[in-house]
Amino acid sequence: MERIPILRMGDLLLVTIQVDMHDRLAMTLQDDLTERIVRDNAKGVLIDISALDLVDSFIGRMISNTAAMARVLDAQTVVVGMQPAVAITLVELGLTLHGVKTALNVEKGMALLGKNLNR
Amino acid sequence: MSTAAELAVGFETDLLELHARKRAERTSLPLRTDEDVVHLRKHVRERAVGIGLSLVDQTKLITAASELARNTIKYGGGGAVHLDKLADGLRQGVGLVFVDTGPGIPDLELALRDGYTTGGGLGLGLGGSKRLVDEFEIDTRPGEGTAIAVVKWKR
């Protein structure tokens, strides 16, 4: 089955979404991430969406839910790299990704996670 | 790719020919599965790029298409979408007509309201999509089906 790879770096998990996700793939990623947070004892999750040219309500909800699940599992999530056109569309659609931390790029996202994890 | 006739879903609606006189080209696609939605997004992107829509307008149109296509599958039990290239004088646009033979939308005003959902979603699909396009029309009949036509014009 098609899957989006999850990389581990210390106690962080990194995901780069580089394909146009269909709904099942998005749900699989959500399941895989929560499982990996527990298995790898991860404290932070960084999701890079810089290659995504669309975030609709389904993908938006997947991102929000993943962040909420991670929080319950004692891990923080940062979403990085959103394209400006995607941000404009997302807000006009009515999605605000409430409760999801964002950063402009991977570097800033890592710094934010590092700061929040007191390192 | 299929012809419009092959994809006829038995729900007679005037929305199919809403912009018939401005239509330069029509591509018709089935909407049954997740993959069909991804496929449609690709086609809409190509057409939007083809008429020179700005990146923001491309993104808005594709996002609206994605929302409406999902509605067609989830609430309408599947159907078809007609992707039109429109030309009105010098003005160009992309039109989409989604058709299903599902149960119809009983309370349209309520369905267009943000936060209203019957399917466990966020309830942003209809109202949100409407904000993302220039024209938005719905023809829905209880027990027969729903058709939604949207247009994004090049600015």
d(CA A96, CA A82): 13
Joined tokens for residue B42: 């690709």
pLDDT at B19: 86
Q: Does B122 score more than 60 pLDDT?
A: no
- What fold characterizes domain A6-116? Transcription Regulator spoIIAA (3.30.750)
Across B49-90, where does the E strand assignment appear?
A: 79-88
What's the predicted TM-score (pTM) here?
Answer: 0.90
pLDDT at B18: 86
Interface test mutation site (partner A, options B42, B46, B54, B59, max chain A beta carbons within 10 A) = B59
Q: Do B67 and A88 touch (CB under 8 A)?
A: no
pLDDT, one tens digit per residue, over B32-91 is 999 999 999 999 999 999 999 999 999 999 999 999 999 999 999 999 999 999 999 889
Q: What is the pLDDT of residue B9?
A: 64
State ipTM. 0.89
Split at pLDDT 50, 70, 90, the class of B121 is low
| A85-A55-A31 Cα angle (round to 5) | 150
- Whether residue B125 lies within 8 A of chain A, CB to CB, comes out as yes
* Residue closest to B99 by CA, chosen among B131, B60, B125, B73: B73
Higher pLDDT, B6 or A28: A28
Domain ranges of chain A: 6-116
Alpha carbons B123 and B117: distance in angstroms, whole number: 4
Q: What is the pLDDT of residue B114?
A: 76
pLDDT, tens digit, 9 for 90 and up, residues A46-61: 999 999 999 999 999 9
Which residues on B lie below 8 Å from A21 (Cβ)? 38
Mean pLDDT of chain B: 89
pLDDT (average), residues A72-80: 97
Are A57 and B121 an interchain contact pair (Cβ–Cβ within 8 Å)? yes
Q: Tell me what pLDDT residue B50 has.
A: 96
Picking from A27, A89, A98, A100 by the largest number of B CB atoms within 10 A of its own CB, the best residue to mutate is A89
Contact A54 B114 (CB under 8 A): no
> What mean pLDDT comes out for the span B3-17?
72
C-alpha torsion sign, points A56, A58, A59, A62: positive
Work out the percent of chain B whose per-residue pLDDT is above 70: 88
Domains of chain B: 14-153 (3.30.565.10)
* Mean pLDDT computed over B131-152: 94
Q: Which H or E run contains B136?
A: strand B135-141
Q: Do B42 and A20 touch (CB under 8 A)?
A: yes
